[in-house]
Structure 1
Amino acid sequence: MRVLQLIDSLDVGGGERMAVNLANYFSENQIPNLLISTRKGGPLEKLIKSPNSLEVFSKSNVLDLATFIRILRKVRSFDPSIIHAHDSSIFWAALIKLLYPKAMLVWHAHYGGFSSANGRFGKKIKFLQAAIDRVIVVNSELLAWVKSDFSMIPKAAYIGNFPDRVSECHVEREKLKWIISVANLKKPKNHVVLVRAFSEFIKSHTGYKLALIGTMDDPEYVEEVNRVIQAEDVQEHVHLLGPVMELKEWFDKARMGILSSHVEGLPVSLLELGLSGVPVISSRVGACGDLLEAGRCGYLVEPNDSGELSMAMRNLVDNKEETRVKAMRFENKVKTEFGGDSFFRKYSALLGKY
């Protein structure tokens, strides 16, 4: 097995983090692998444990023929048996497959909105399906979509993401006052609802602070979030931190972690919070409901409902034993069901003979 991964960039994001986690897993298990970032590098480069397994290119657009030729040369030099394309990198991967047909092409679909009526790229990918040999999806909705709309693709499977390992954390969380959200500042992550819920929450639970951790590459959305922060008069309590690579410090001081998205696949950040023992609240979208076992492993709320989210925050803080049990269940679930070895067993079964 020789695995070539393609990703657009190494900015902070769930798909990008999984590409890095896979690269590290392959390297640790002596599986020849190469991760190609086609458009640019990014902060996640620092997390690659084997620098020789990474190549960064500077694709300017989808028609950048010069960069495509350089990448194709690298592909031929590496001689992969598997081309593993994440999200929108499937477009160039399909072209590479046409020119390098002996490799199996695997599309890894991370974005939960692919299957929606206005899903980005979703409809266009139908034109590529003849080139795709396997599909990995991150929730059951995406799997149903692939099976119904992509009849030419031989096999597809739902394989859960897995987090990078974190150190054990033993803290008295009941005394902590930080609430963290690890999600890039963009519309699907719905920080506006979170800020409004937090504003209501601190009226009865004083002293808490909210940290928004993630890239801030959408200036209009960041401005919208800041307007809501000012309108709710919580400027002294809400901190926009930008991307943070070493998250353990924040996991260690978090009373809770919140994901308020209205669109998700299977968020790696939620798995990382669980692995660190942080109690979680998540909107019921994508695979989040299944991850939290309908509320056994964390608190679930409907998306876009700041009132319900605020109530969940109060419940988490006020019901200490219930919260501790939920967090313990989720930590155990992530450890047993979402490790790299579990992913690789399912991955190998999906590939079959390659």
Structure 2
Amino acid sequence: MASPKEIRIAQLIDSLEAGGAERMAVNYANALQASTGFSALVTTRAEGNLKAELSPDVAYAYLHRQRVLDVKAYRLLCNFIKKHRITHVHAHSSSVFFAILLRLRFPTLTIVWHDHYGWSEQLDRRPKFALQVASQFVKGIITVNHALQSWSQTHLFCKQVLYLPNFVGIPSATSLPAISLHGEEGKRIVCLANLRPQKNHSMLLEVAQRMKAVHPDWTFHLVGKDFQDAYSDQLKATLSQTKLESHVFIYGTQQEVSGILKQCSIGVLTSDSEGLPVSILEYGLAGLAVVATQVGEVGQVLTEQNGILVPKGDSVSFFHHLSQLINNVSLRQEYGEALQKHIKQTYSTAAVIPEYLKWMYED
């Protein structure tokens, strides 16, 4: 095994489909490879588009896990831990339950849990029994917002709870070209959000319908996983009923997000609930002006100086402020530059990883 002062960290995640927790697992893996010289990532149930963003120097494994107690997947994980002399497993979201089984084979292995729970506005309804059991087997808990930190300190048995903001790294060069977006250059509005109810795309369509009457040359571009479920069906039905097909475009999951953002002028998020959405950070890193609902930790990122916050569910106010940005190019530029500076200073690899490593090295 590694020397007492050496730590070798493996990220553990259920899949590499595009999503906030999944993107952060990749971000941590890449950042740790660059800063410590070793990093690993294991995905248990599925791969996905984010695999293409993983540094080739990161040790990687896919377990093909099929069920809750999958002996074959467990053996593969144990072999990976032994082969790469892993000392710390950083388990994201529900992968923590699989991670704690490793303590049966490796009693000295350190496990930390990264809580990415997205319904931070409804924590009073969150089931906690299974998490209370799991919390007894982890060294510490990382939360993506202060509400989750407080909830963990109150309800769970692990008392080492650290708030660390999500972060973004500088996009690496890629041979994968971004798709060409529909619409007119300089008049595109992007929404990076998987098609889930908490993202409230219905409100976005309400805004788009109002915008069509006032600024018909501006278009909306929805990028995120389409689960092909009832929510998706209803969204597409509304799109057809309101005759917005030439103003709102759905692209599904895309790999080259930074290239997509370069084609846009404004970033939006209409969520009813969030933790700390990576999409806001990506908008900022790309220098976009942003309008978003004030949920979760969004208000910690956007201020009066670098963006616009709107009460959740208020489509009229959202439309008003979005129109303000459309009509004022200099204001868009001012907000975009200010947010980009803020992201680099507070929500970047350089800002987060040193604090993370300091915490991981603590006994």
Structure-2 separation of matches of 1:178 and 1:289: 24
Hey, which bits of structure 1, 4+ residues long, moved more than 4 A? none
Residues 1:124 and 2:133 aligned together: no
Contact kept? 1:251, 1:273, Cα under 8 Å:
yes
Say which SS state the counterpart of residue 117 (structure 1) adopts.
helix
Instruction: Find the counterpart in structure 2 of residue 315 from structure 1.
Output: 324
Contact kept? 1:2, 1:31, Cα under 8 Å:
no
Match of 2:314 among 283, 286, 305: 305
Residues 1:287 and 2:287 aligned together: no
Structure-2 separation of matches of 1:181 and 1:127: 37
Q: How many residues align?
A: 346
Instruction: Find the counterpart in structure 1 of residue 27 from structure 2.
Output: 21
Structure 1 residues 23, 58: CA separation in 2 closer, same or farther (over 3 Å shift)? same
Structure-2 separation of matches of 1:326 and 1:9: 34
Residues 1:206 and 2:213 aligned together: no
Say which SS state the counterpart of residue 73 (structure 1) adopts.
helix
Contact kept? 1:98, 1:131, Cα under 8 Å:
no
Contact kept? 2:295, 2:312, Cα under 8 Å:
yes
Contact kept? 1:134, 1:350, Cα under 8 Å:
no
Contact kept? 1:85, 1:93, Cα under 8 Å:
yes
Note the 1:242-261 alignment, pairs <5 A.
242-261=252-271
Give the deviation of 1:192 after TM superposition: 1.2
Instruction: Find the counterpart in structure 2 of residue 86 from structure 1.
Output: 92
Give the deviation of 1:218 after TM superposition: 3.9
Instruction: Find the counterpart in structure 2 of residue 171 from structure 1.
Output: none
Match of 1:325 among 328, 334, 341: 334
Instruction: Find the counterpart in structure 1 of residue 240 from structure 2.
Output: 230
RMSD between aligned alpha carbons?
Answer: 2.0
Structure-1 separation of matches of 2:285 and 2:99: 33
Instruction: Find the counterpart in structure 1 of residue 56 from structure 2.
Output: 50
Q: What stretches of structure 1 of length at least 5 have no aligned partner?
A: 169-173
Structure-1 separation of matches of 2:263 and 2:348: 24
Give the deviation of 1:250 after TM superposition: 2.1
Say which SS state the counterpart of residue 209 (structure 2) adopts.
helix
Structure 1 residues 167, 37: CA separation in 2 closer, same or farther (over 3 Å shift)? closer
Say which SS state the counterpart of residue 320 (structure 2) adopts.
helix
Structure-2 separation of matches of 1:167 and 1:232: 39
Structure 1 residues 86, 256: CA separation in 2 closer, same or farther (over 3 Å shift)? same
Structure-1 separation of matches of 2:228 and 2:169: 27
Residues 1:12 and 2:12 aligned together: no
Residues 1:157 and 2:162 aligned together: yes
Q: What's the TM-score once normalised by structure 2's chain length?
A: 0.90
Q: What's the TM-score once normalised by structure 1's chain length?
A: 0.92
Structure-2 separation of matches of 1:60 and 1:308: 46
